[in-house]
Chains A and B, each alone.
Chain A
Protein backbone atom coordinates (compact mmCIF):
# COMPACT_ATOMS: atom_id res chain seq x y z
CA UNK A 1 0.00 0.00 0.00
CA UNK A 2 2.79 2.37 0.96
CA UNK A 3 4.69 1.43 -2.18
CA UNK A 4 1.64 2.14 -4.30
CA UNK A 5 1.21 5.54 -2.69
CA UNK A 6 4.86 6.32 -3.35
CA UNK A 7 4.50 5.25 -6.95
CA UNK A 8 1.38 7.38 -7.44
CA UNK A 9 3.16 10.38 -5.90
CA UNK A 10 6.12 9.91 -8.21
CA UNK A 11 3.88 9.61 -11.26
CA UNK A 12 1.99 12.76 -10.25
CA UNK A 13 5.33 14.52 -10.06
CA UNK A 14 6.19 13.34 -13.59
CA UNK A 15 2.74 14.30 -14.84
CA UNK A 16 2.91 17.85 -13.49
CA UNK A 17 5.24 18.95 -16.29
CA UNK A 18 2.45 18.40 -18.80
CA UNK A 19 -0.43 19.55 -16.67
CA UNK A 20 -1.75 16.05 -15.99
CA UNK A 21 -4.17 15.88 -13.10
CA UNK A 22 -4.36 13.10 -10.57
CA UNK A 23 -7.13 11.33 -12.47
CA UNK A 24 -5.14 11.55 -15.71
CA UNK A 25 -2.11 9.99 -14.04
CA UNK A 26 -4.14 7.24 -12.38
CA UNK A 27 -5.84 6.53 -15.68
CA UNK A 28 -2.49 6.22 -17.47
CA UNK A 29 -1.37 3.15 -15.56
CA UNK A 30 -1.40 -0.26 -17.13
CA UNK A 31 -4.31 -2.53 -16.30
CA UNK A 32 -5.07 -6.15 -16.98
CA UNK A 33 -7.44 -4.97 -19.70
CA UNK A 34 -4.53 -3.18 -21.45
CA UNK A 35 -2.39 -6.29 -21.38
CA UNK A 36 -5.17 -8.46 -22.79
CA UNK A 37 -6.11 -5.90 -25.46
CA UNK A 38 -2.50 -5.59 -26.57
CA UNK A 39 -2.09 -9.37 -26.71
CA UNK A 40 -5.21 -9.62 -28.88
CA UNK A 41 -4.00 -6.80 -31.12
CA UNK A 42 -0.65 -8.48 -31.54
CA UNK A 43 -2.34 -11.71 -32.59
CA UNK A 44 -4.62 -9.77 -34.96
CA UNK A 45 -1.60 -8.04 -36.45
CA UNK A 46 0.27 -11.33 -36.84
CA UNK A 47 -2.69 -12.88 -38.66
CA UNK A 48 -4.10 -9.97 -40.68
CA UNK A 49 -1.93 -6.91 -40.22
CA UNK A 50 1.13 -8.23 -42.01
CA UNK A 51 -0.96 -8.50 -45.14
CA UNK A 52 -3.36 -5.60 -44.73
CA UNK A 53 -0.92 -3.00 -43.45
CA UNK A 54 1.52 -2.21 -46.23
CA UNK A 55 4.29 -0.99 -43.96
CA UNK A 56 4.41 -4.16 -41.86
CA UNK A 57 5.87 -3.80 -38.36
CA UNK A 58 8.40 -1.14 -39.33
CA UNK A 59 5.75 0.95 -41.06
CA UNK A 60 4.05 1.35 -37.72
CA UNK A 61 7.12 2.59 -35.95
CA UNK A 62 9.09 4.73 -38.34
CA UNK A 63 7.13 6.28 -41.12
CA UNK A 64 4.31 8.23 -39.61
CA UNK A 65 1.59 5.65 -39.06
CA UNK A 66 -1.53 6.29 -41.07
CA UNK A 67 -5.06 6.77 -39.85
CA UNK A 68 -5.64 3.67 -42.00
CA UNK A 69 -3.38 1.64 -39.68
CA UNK A 70 -5.58 2.59 -36.74
CA UNK A 71 -8.67 1.73 -38.74
CA UNK A 72 -7.33 -1.68 -39.74
CA UNK A 73 -6.09 -2.57 -36.27
CA UNK A 74 -8.98 -1.18 -34.31
CA UNK A 75 -11.68 -2.24 -36.74
CA UNK A 76 -13.00 1.06 -38.02
CA UNK A 77 -12.69 3.06 -34.85
CA UNK A 78 -13.88 0.40 -32.41
Chain B
Protein backbone atom coordinates (compact mmCIF):
# COMPACT_ATOMS: atom_id res chain seq x y z
CA UNK B 1 0.00 0.00 0.00
CA UNK B 2 1.20 3.50 -0.81
CA UNK B 3 2.66 5.30 2.19
CA UNK B 4 3.65 8.96 2.12
CA UNK B 5 7.31 9.59 2.85
CA UNK B 6 8.13 12.45 5.20
CA UNK B 7 11.43 14.30 5.45
CA UNK B 8 12.53 16.27 8.52
CA UNK B 9 13.89 19.16 6.45
CA UNK B 10 14.23 21.50 9.41
CA UNK B 11 15.31 20.16 12.80
CA UNK B 12 15.47 22.17 16.01
CA UNK B 13 17.94 20.62 18.42
CA UNK B 14 17.98 21.69 22.04
CA UNK B 15 21.70 20.97 22.53
CA UNK B 16 21.46 21.68 26.27
CA UNK B 17 18.84 22.90 28.71
CA UNK B 18 21.58 24.72 30.62
CA UNK B 19 20.99 28.47 30.48
CA UNK B 20 22.63 31.57 31.90
CA UNK B 21 19.25 33.35 32.07
CA UNK B 22 15.94 32.54 33.73
CA UNK B 23 13.55 34.22 31.32
CA UNK B 24 9.99 34.87 32.35
CA UNK B 25 8.52 33.39 29.18
CA UNK B 26 10.84 30.41 28.66
CA UNK B 27 8.77 27.57 27.20
CA UNK B 28 11.40 25.00 28.21
CA UNK B 29 11.85 26.30 31.79
CA UNK B 30 15.56 26.29 30.99
CA UNK B 31 18.21 26.81 33.65
CA UNK B 32 19.80 23.54 34.75
CA UNK B 33 20.96 20.94 32.23
CA UNK B 34 18.74 17.91 31.74
CA UNK B 35 19.96 14.73 33.37
CA UNK B 36 22.02 12.70 30.94
CA UNK B 37 22.27 15.10 28.00
CA UNK B 38 23.68 13.78 24.72
CA UNK B 39 27.49 13.57 24.65
CA UNK B 40 29.60 15.08 21.90
CA UNK B 41 29.93 11.68 20.22
CA UNK B 42 26.18 11.06 20.41
CA UNK B 43 25.57 14.55 18.99
CA UNK B 44 27.93 13.91 16.08
CA UNK B 45 26.21 10.58 15.30
CA UNK B 46 22.83 12.31 15.50
CA UNK B 47 23.94 14.80 12.83
CA UNK B 48 24.99 11.93 10.56
CA UNK B 49 21.64 10.18 11.05
CA UNK B 50 19.77 13.41 10.29
CA UNK B 51 21.75 13.87 7.10
CA UNK B 52 20.69 10.39 6.02
CA UNK B 53 17.04 11.29 6.72
CA UNK B 54 17.30 14.28 4.40
CA UNK B 55 17.64 17.14 6.91
CA UNK B 56 18.92 20.37 5.40
CA UNK B 57 18.81 22.83 8.30
CA UNK B 58 19.60 22.18 11.96
CA UNK B 59 18.83 24.91 14.47
CA UNK B 60 21.02 24.72 17.54
CA UNK B 61 19.17 26.08 20.51
CA UNK B 62 18.97 25.66 24.25
CA UNK B 63 18.87 26.61 27.02
CA UNK B 64 21.76 28.68 25.78
CA UNK B 65 23.66 26.77 23.07
CA UNK B 66 26.88 28.76 23.57
CA UNK B 67 27.18 27.40 27.12
CA UNK B 68 27.85 23.99 25.62
CA UNK B 69 31.62 23.82 25.22
CA UNK B 70 31.46 21.64 22.09
CA UNK B 71 28.90 23.80 20.22
CA UNK B 72 31.40 24.63 17.49
CA UNK B 73 32.42 20.96 17.09
CA UNK B 74 28.77 20.06 16.48
CA UNK B 75 28.26 23.03 14.14
CA UNK B 76 31.41 22.17 12.18
CA UNK B 77 30.21 18.59 11.78
CA UNK B 78 26.87 19.82 10.45
CA UNK B 79 28.69 21.95 7.88
CA UNK B 80 31.08 19.11 6.96
CA UNK B 81 28.05 16.92 6.26
CA UNK B 82 26.75 19.54 3.83
CA UNK B 83 23.89 20.82 5.98
CA UNK B 84 23.17 24.36 7.17
CA UNK B 85 22.79 25.48 10.73
CA UNK B 86 21.14 28.33 12.56
CA UNK B 87 21.99 29.12 16.15
CA UNK B 88 19.52 30.73 18.57
CA UNK B 89 21.06 32.52 21.51
CA UNK B 90 20.16 35.02 24.20
CA UNK B 91 23.29 36.94 23.24
CA UNK B 92 24.65 37.19 26.77
CA UNK B 93 28.07 35.64 26.19
CA UNK B 94 28.65 36.44 22.54
CA UNK B 95 32.15 37.88 22.30
CA UNK B 96 34.82 38.30 19.66
CA UNK B 97 36.03 34.73 20.07
CA UNK B 98 32.55 33.29 19.41
CA UNK B 99 32.04 35.67 16.48
CA UNK B 100 35.34 34.60 14.89
CA UNK B 101 34.30 30.94 15.29
CA UNK B 102 30.94 31.73 13.69
CA UNK B 103 32.59 33.44 10.73
CA UNK B 104 34.51 30.23 9.97
CA UNK B 105 31.38 28.10 10.37
CA UNK B 106 29.27 30.23 7.99
CA UNK B 107 25.86 29.85 9.70
CA UNK B 108 22.58 30.30 7.85
CA UNK B 109 21.45 32.64 10.62
CA UNK B 110 22.45 33.72 14.10
CA UNK B 111 19.26 34.53 15.98
CA UNK B 112 19.38 36.67 19.11
CA UNK B 113 16.48 37.31 21.48
CA UNK B 114 15.59 40.94 22.11
CA UNK B 115 12.50 41.28 24.24
CA UNK B 116 12.41 44.94 25.11
CA UNK B 117 13.20 48.30 23.60
CA UNK B 118 14.57 49.46 26.94
CA UNK B 119 17.08 47.92 29.32
CA UNK B 120 14.49 47.98 32.08
CA UNK B 121 11.99 45.82 30.20
CA UNK B 122 14.47 43.44 28.56
CA UNK B 123 16.39 42.89 31.81
CA UNK B 124 13.28 42.31 33.88
CA UNK B 125 12.04 39.69 31.40
CA UNK B 126 15.47 38.08 31.09
CA UNK B 127 16.20 38.45 34.80
CA UNK B 128 19.81 39.45 34.27
CA UNK B 129 20.74 43.07 34.98
CA UNK B 130 23.28 43.47 32.21
CA UNK B 131 21.50 41.43 29.55
CA UNK B 132 20.22 44.32 27.40
CA UNK B 133 23.60 46.01 27.18
CA UNK B 134 25.35 42.72 26.39
CA UNK B 135 22.71 41.69 23.86
CA UNK B 136 23.09 45.00 21.99
CA UNK B 137 26.86 44.62 22.13
CA UNK B 138 26.60 41.06 20.74
CA UNK B 139 24.34 42.28 17.92
CA UNK B 140 26.93 44.93 17.07
CA UNK B 141 29.70 42.33 16.88
CA UNK B 142 27.62 40.06 14.64
CA UNK B 143 26.67 42.92 12.37
CA UNK B 144 30.22 44.18 12.02
CA UNK B 145 31.28 40.64 11.11
CA UNK B 146 28.58 40.68 8.40
CA UNK B 147 27.00 37.51 9.78
CA UNK B 148 23.34 36.88 8.82
CA UNK B 149 21.66 38.08 11.99
CA UNK B 150 18.06 37.77 13.15
CA UNK B 151 16.41 39.32 16.17
CA UNK B 152 13.59 37.30 17.71
CA UNK B 153 11.12 39.18 19.91
CA UNK B 154 8.70 37.14 22.01
CA UNK B 155 5.74 39.36 22.85
CA UNK B 156 3.46 39.35 25.86
CA UNK B 157 1.75 41.92 28.05
CA UNK B 158 4.99 43.24 29.54
CA UNK B 159 6.72 44.18 26.30
CA UNK B 160 4.41 44.44 23.28
CA UNK B 161 4.12 48.21 23.58
CA UNK B 162 7.88 48.51 23.05
CA UNK B 163 7.77 47.09 19.53
CA UNK B 164 8.05 50.61 18.00
CA UNK B 165 11.27 51.21 19.98
CA UNK B 166 12.76 47.91 18.81
CA UNK B 167 11.72 48.79 15.25
CA UNK B 168 13.56 52.10 15.45
CA UNK B 169 16.65 50.31 16.71
CA UNK B 170 16.58 47.72 13.90
CA UNK B 171 15.78 50.03 10.99
CA UNK B 172 18.39 49.96 8.22
CA UNK B 173 20.67 47.55 10.05
CA UNK B 174 20.16 44.57 7.70
CA UNK B 175 18.95 42.46 10.63
CA UNK B 176 15.92 40.21 10.11
CA UNK B 177 13.23 40.59 12.76
CA UNK B 178 10.87 37.83 13.80
CA UNK B 179 8.00 38.57 16.19
CA UNK B 180 6.40 35.65 17.99
CA UNK B 181 3.83 35.29 20.73
CA UNK B 182 4.65 33.82 24.15
CA UNK B 183 2.53 30.75 24.93
CA UNK B 184 1.59 29.54 28.39
CA UNK B 185 4.02 26.61 28.39
CA UNK B 186 7.06 26.08 30.57
CA UNK B 187 7.66 29.02 32.87
CA UNK B 188 5.33 31.52 31.23
CA UNK B 189 2.13 32.34 33.17
CA UNK B 190 -1.10 32.52 31.18
CA UNK B 191 -1.95 35.80 32.93
CA UNK B 192 0.78 37.58 30.94
CA UNK B 193 -0.29 36.25 27.59
CA UNK B 194 -1.53 38.83 25.10
CA UNK B 195 -5.29 39.28 25.00
CA UNK B 196 -6.81 38.65 21.59
CA UNK B 197 -7.21 42.38 21.10
CA UNK B 198 -3.51 42.95 21.90
CA UNK B 199 -2.60 40.07 19.63
CA UNK B 200 -4.51 41.70 16.79
CA UNK B 201 -2.82 45.02 17.53
CA UNK B 202 0.57 43.38 17.12
CA UNK B 203 -0.55 41.78 13.85
CA UNK B 204 -1.71 45.19 12.65
CA UNK B 205 1.66 46.64 13.64
CA UNK B 206 3.54 43.98 11.66
CA UNK B 207 1.30 44.48 8.61
CA UNK B 208 1.68 48.23 8.79
CA UNK B 209 5.46 48.17 9.18
CA UNK B 210 5.84 45.75 6.29
CA UNK B 211 4.04 48.28 4.11
CA UNK B 212 5.75 51.35 5.50
CA UNK B 213 9.32 50.07 5.13
CA UNK B 214 10.99 48.18 2.33
CA UNK B 215 12.42 44.71 2.99
CA UNK B 216 15.87 46.25 2.82
CA UNK B 217 14.99 48.74 5.54
CA UNK B 218 13.17 46.29 7.81
CA UNK B 219 13.02 42.58 6.97
CA UNK B 220 10.17 41.80 9.36
CA UNK B 221 7.94 38.76 9.75
CA UNK B 222 5.45 37.25 12.14
CA UNK B 223 6.31 33.73 13.32
CA UNK B 224 4.26 30.55 13.01
CA UNK B 225 1.85 31.58 15.78
CA UNK B 226 0.97 34.93 14.14
CA UNK B 227 -1.90 34.22 11.82
CA UNK B 228 -4.03 32.98 10.20
CA UNK B 229 -6.23 33.61 7.15
CA UNK B 230 -7.02 37.24 7.83
CA UNK B 231 -9.69 38.85 5.66
CA UNK B 232 -8.43 42.34 6.44
CA UNK B 233 -4.65 42.16 6.75
CA UNK B 234 -2.16 40.85 4.23
CA UNK B 235 -0.08 37.81 5.11
CA UNK B 236 2.31 38.77 7.91
CA UNK B 237 4.49 35.66 7.91
CA UNK B 238 6.93 35.28 5.04
CA UNK B 239 4.62 32.90 3.18
CA UNK B 240 0.97 31.97 3.71
CA UNK B 241 0.34 29.49 6.51
CA UNK B 242 0.24 25.90 5.27
CA UNK B 243 -0.51 24.27 8.61
CA UNK B 244 1.62 23.08 11.51
CA UNK B 245 4.67 21.24 10.16
CA UNK B 246 5.46 19.19 13.28
CA UNK B 247 6.27 15.65 12.19
CA UNK B 248 5.83 16.53 8.50
CA UNK B 249 8.87 18.64 7.58
CA UNK B 250 9.90 19.68 11.11
CA UNK B 251 11.30 17.80 14.08
CA UNK B 252 12.52 18.77 17.54
CA UNK B 253 15.16 16.91 19.55
CA UNK B 254 15.62 17.39 23.28
CA UNK B 255 19.06 17.46 24.85
CA UNK B 256 18.44 14.03 26.40
CA UNK B 257 17.55 12.50 23.01
CA UNK B 258 13.75 12.80 23.22
CA UNK B 259 12.13 13.36 19.81
CA UNK B 260 9.06 15.54 19.18
CA UNK B 261 7.43 17.01 16.11
CA UNK B 262 8.28 20.51 17.33
CA UNK B 263 10.46 21.66 20.23
CA UNK B 264 7.73 23.90 21.62
CA UNK B 265 5.33 21.00 22.18
CA UNK B 266 5.04 19.71 25.76
CA UNK B 267 6.73 16.48 26.91
CA UNK B 268 3.59 14.45 26.31
CA UNK B 269 4.37 14.70 22.60
CA UNK B 270 7.73 12.88 22.85
CA UNK B 271 7.58 10.04 20.31
CA UNK B 272 10.69 8.18 21.43
CA UNK B 273 14.32 8.57 22.45
CA UNK B 274 17.28 8.16 20.14
CA UNK B 275 19.13 6.22 22.85
CA UNK B 276 16.46 3.53 22.73
CA UNK B 277 15.57 3.53 19.05
CA UNK B 278 17.26 5.01 15.98
CA UNK B 279 16.00 8.40 14.91
CA UNK B 280 15.10 6.92 11.51
CA UNK B 281 12.91 4.31 13.20
CA UNK B 282 11.20 6.96 15.34
CA UNK B 283 10.63 9.26 12.36
CA UNK B 284 9.42 6.51 10.03
CA UNK B 285 7.21 4.75 12.60
CA UNK B 286 3.67 4.54 11.26
CA UNK B 287 2.30 5.62 14.63
CA UNK B 288 4.54 8.67 15.07
CA UNK B 289 3.26 12.24 14.75
CA UNK B 290 -0.23 10.98 13.94
CA UNK B 291 -1.81 14.31 14.99
CA UNK B 292 -0.53 15.80 11.74
CA UNK B 293 0.25 12.81 9.53
CA UNK B 294 -3.20 11.27 9.91
CA UNK B 295 -5.07 14.55 10.24
CA UNK B 296 -8.62 14.67 8.92
CA UNK B 297 -10.95 17.64 8.80
CA UNK B 298 -13.08 15.93 11.45
CA UNK B 299 -10.16 16.27 13.88
CA UNK B 300 -10.66 20.02 14.08
CA UNK B 301 -11.95 21.17 17.43
CA UNK B 302 -13.67 24.18 18.96
CA UNK B 303 -14.34 27.10 16.67
CA UNK B 304 -12.09 25.70 13.96
CA UNK B 305 -14.57 22.89 13.31
CA UNK B 306 -16.59 24.75 10.73
CA UNK B 307 -13.84 26.96 9.33
CA UNK B 308 -13.46 26.80 5.57
CA UNK B 309 -9.66 27.04 5.95
CA UNK B 310 -9.53 24.11 8.41
CA UNK B 311 -8.30 21.39 6.08
CA UNK B 312 -5.19 23.35 5.10
CA UNK B 313 -4.68 25.29 8.34
CA UNK B 314 -5.21 22.27 10.64
CA UNK B 315 -6.28 24.64 13.41
CA UNK B 316 -3.14 26.75 13.70
CA UNK B 317 -0.27 26.20 16.10
CA UNK B 318 -0.54 22.88 17.91
CA UNK B 319 1.31 24.18 20.97
CA UNK B 320 -0.94 27.22 21.39
CA UNK B 321 -4.01 25.06 20.82
CA UNK B 322 -3.12 22.36 23.35
CA UNK B 323 -1.76 24.75 25.95
CA UNK B 324 -4.87 26.94 25.93
CA UNK B 325 -7.69 24.53 25.21
CA UNK B 326 -6.26 21.11 26.10
CA UNK B 327 -7.16 19.98 22.59
CA UNK B 328 -5.26 19.96 19.29
CA UNK B 329 -6.34 21.76 16.11
CA UNK B 330 -8.21 24.73 17.59
CA UNK B 331 -5.76 27.58 18.17
CA UNK B 332 -7.97 30.45 19.40
CA UNK B 333 -5.33 33.07 18.49
CA UNK B 334 -6.43 33.19 14.88
CA UNK B 335 -6.78 36.46 12.98
CA UNK B 336 -9.70 35.12 10.98
CA UNK B 337 -11.55 34.10 14.14
CA UNK B 338 -10.80 37.37 15.93
CA UNK B 339 -12.05 39.33 12.94
CA UNK B 340 -15.27 37.35 12.87
CA UNK B 341 -15.88 37.81 16.58
CA UNK B 342 -14.47 41.22 17.44
CA UNK B 343 -14.61 43.14 14.19
CA UNK B 344 -17.67 41.44 12.68
CA UNK B 345 -16.20 40.89 9.24
A residues whose Cβ falls under 8 Å from a Cβ of B? 7, 10-11, 14-20, 24-25, 27-31, 34-35, 38, 41-42, 45, 54-70, 73-74, 77-78
Contacts and interface: CB of A to CB of B under 8 A. Distances in A.
Contacts of B9: 54-59
Interface stretch (B121-129, B197-205, B266-274, B295-303): B197-205
Contact of A61 (B86, B197, B201, B224): B224
Contacts of B175: 67
Across chains A and B, which 5 residue pairs bring their CB atoms closest together, nearest first? A64-B111, A66-B109, A61-B224, A34-B234, A58-B250
A67 B294 CA distance: 34
Interface stretch (B18-26, B183-191, B206-214): B206-214
B71 interface: no
B10 interface: yes
A61 B202 contact: no
B321 interface: no
Interface in B37-55: none
Contacts of B245: 57-58, 61-62
24 contacts: A7-B345, A10-B342, A14-B200, A17-B198, A18-B201, A18-B205, A31-B234, A38-B235, A54-B10, A54-B56, A55-B10, A56-B10, A60-B237, A60-B239, A62-B10, A62-B245, A63-B12, A64-B59, A64-B88, A64-B152, A64-B178, A66-B150, A68-B108, A68-B109
Given A38-B240, A54-B83, A65-B176, A59 B57 contact: yes
Contact of B239 (A17, A28, A54, A57): A57
B201 A14 contact: yes
Contacts of A61: 223-224, 237, 241, 245
Contact of B240 (A17, A42, A64, A77): A42
Interface size class, chain B: 35 or more
Interface string B14-39: 00000000000000000000000000
B62 interface: no
B238 A62 contact: no
Contact of B215 (A27, A55, A74): A74
Contact of A28 (B197, B211, B224, B231): B211
A35 to B, nearest CB: 8
B132 interface: no
B233 A63 contact: no
B204 A70 contact: no
A54 to B, nearest CB: 4
A20 B208 contact: yes
Contact of A65 (B84, B161, B178, B211): B178
Contacts of A28: 204, 207-208, 211, 233
Contacts of A73: 238-239
Contact of B10 (A24, A31, A58): A58
Given A11-B232, A67-B149, A70-B219, A41 B239 contact: yes
Contacts of B163: 18
Highest count of chain A CB atoms <10 Å: which of B83, B160, B221, B342: B221
Interface string B136-167: 00000000000011101000000011011000
Contact of B12 (A11, A29, A62): A62
B230 interface: yes
Given A24-B208, A29-B233, A67-B148, 16 more contacts: A14-B200, A27-B211, A28-B204, A28-B207, A28-B233, A30-B232, A30-B233, A35-B234, A56-B249, A57-B9, A62-B59, A62-B245, A63-B111, A64-B150, A65-B109, A69-B176
A13 to B, nearest CB: 9
A62 to B, nearest CB: 6
A70 B238 contact: yes
B1 interface: no
Contacts of B205: 15, 18, 20
